[in-house]
Amino acid sequence: MTYKTDLPVMLPMKRREAEPFLSLKMWYILPIALLAILGPNLVVAQSTPESQSPIAVLLNWAPLLLKGFIFNLVISVSAMALGTFVGAILGLGQISLFAPTRHSSWFVTQFFRNAPWLVLLFFAMFLLPFEINLFGFKIPFPDWFKAILGLSLPVMANVSEIVRGAVRSLPSGQWEAAESLAYTRLQTLWLIILPQCVKRMLPPWMNLYSILTMATVLASIVGVNEVMTLTGQALASEGGRPDLLAPFYGFVLLLFFIYCYPIAKFTVWLETKYAVIS
């Protein structure tokens, strides 16, 4: 299964292992995170007896941090849903027979695909009003909502490329067979081309989702109350104890790992499964 694209997100996961750190596996993050969480406890045990051990402090804060993490997931799922919906339309626009549609879809895709995610996030944050007036109703635009919009832009552009790449990767014989059976172009897309593309789009789409989930921490920079922001606040209210840094950020690392690793595994499994079939 090959996609005609230079988009890293669309390359199969497996290929990433064939890079300089040949033996580095994704799950190694697990012991690193655990070491970060547990390590400082061993040191602290001998130092100041009156203060709580880092692990105890972490446990106090864990429910709040977990809530923040769930907010990250809400942002990621919403941005993914929105980005996928608009991106799918944009991707179909890229294969339109109507040249102006094709060219403008291509331009929008390339524009947002080649912009840093953080810049797009800032754009959404500072260019969108905090509320809009719609027929006399004031609809508020909270920060988290703007973060979703901002993150959905690169998702949209990448989904657009995934759709275009998947449609292009089908043999032209499928189009010709459908044409010679007098299907309309819309029927051909809907009944014949897209159903075959779903399988091809799923792995890169899930890779994209993993990347998006990890990118939701960018929202902390613009002040959304997600897990990184909360971690920073927790550390501050504990008086900035340096021995807490590693356990707290290790915990955040662990949360993302527990969530993203199964997705990555599942993606690889899907890829091998479909590679065998097609």
Partner 1 sequence: MSWTPADPMVSLKNVHKSFGDLKVLNGVSLDVMKGDVICIIGPSGSGKSTLIRCVNALNDIQQGSILVEGQEVNDPKLDKLELRKKVGMVFQQYNLFPHKTALQNVMMAPIRVLKQDKAQAEETARGLIKKVRLEGKENAYPGELSGGQQQRVAIARSLAMRPDVILFDEVTAALDPETVGEVLQTIKDLAEDGMTCILVTHEMAFAREVADHIYFTDRGVIVEHGPPETFFQNAQDPRTKEFLSQIL
Q: Which of 23, 114, 180, 237 binds partner 1 (CB under 8 A)?
A: 180
**Nearest by Cα to 12 from 278, 275, 215:** 275
Does position 182 interact with partner 1 (CB under 8 A)? The reply is yes
Does position 191 interact with partner 1 (CB under 8 A)? The reply is yes
Whole-number Å distance between alpha carbons of 124 and 174: 41
Q: Which of 24, 139, 142, 179 binds partner 1 (CB under 8 A)?
A: 179
Count of residues interacting with partner 1 (CB under 8 A): 19
Q: Which of 41, 78, 169, 196 binds partner 1 (CB under 8 A)?
A: 196
Q: What is the DSSP letter of 193?
A: I
Does position 276 interact with partner 1 (CB under 8 A)? The reply is no
Does position 192 interact with partner 1 (CB under 8 A)? The reply is yes
Q: How far is CA 186 from CA 44, 112, 166, in A?
A: 67, 27, 17
Among the residues of the chain, which ranges form H helices? Answer: 29-44, 54-94, 99-113, 117-127, 143-169, 172-180, 185-187, 194-215, 227-237, 242-277
Does position 177 interact with partner 1 (CB under 8 A)? The reply is yes
Residue 178 CB, shortest distance to partner 1, in Å, is 8
Q: Considering only the stretches 93-101, 126-134, 192-200, 251-259, report the one whose residues sit in contact with partner 1 under the rule CB under 8 A.
A: 192-200
> x/- binding map, residues 13-52, to partner 1, per CB under 8 A?
----------------------------------------
Q: Which of 8, 129, 131, 176 binds partner 1 (CB under 8 A)?
A: 176
Residue 77: burial class (beta carbons within 10 Å; 0-12, 13-18, 19+): middle
Q: What is the DSSP letter of 17?
A: G
The type of residue at 229 is: T
Residue 110: burial class (beta carbons within 10 Å; 0-12, 13-18, 19+): middle
Residue 177 CB, shortest distance to partner 1, in Å, is 4
Whole-number Å distance between alpha carbons of 213 and 46: 38
Residue 175 CB, shortest distance to partner 1, in Å, is 9
Nearer CB in complex with partner 1: 133/172: 172
Nearer CB in complex with partner 1: 182/236: 182
Structure tokens at 31: 């012991």
Four-residue CA torsion sign, 274, 276, 277, 278:
positive
> x/- binding map, residues 129-168, to partner 1, per CB under 8 A?
----------------------------------------
Cβ 37 vs Cβ 55: under 8 Å: yes
Does position 183 interact with partner 1 (CB under 8 A)? The reply is yes
Contacts to partner 1 by CB under 8 A: 171, 173-174, 176-184, 187, 191-192, 195-196, 277-278
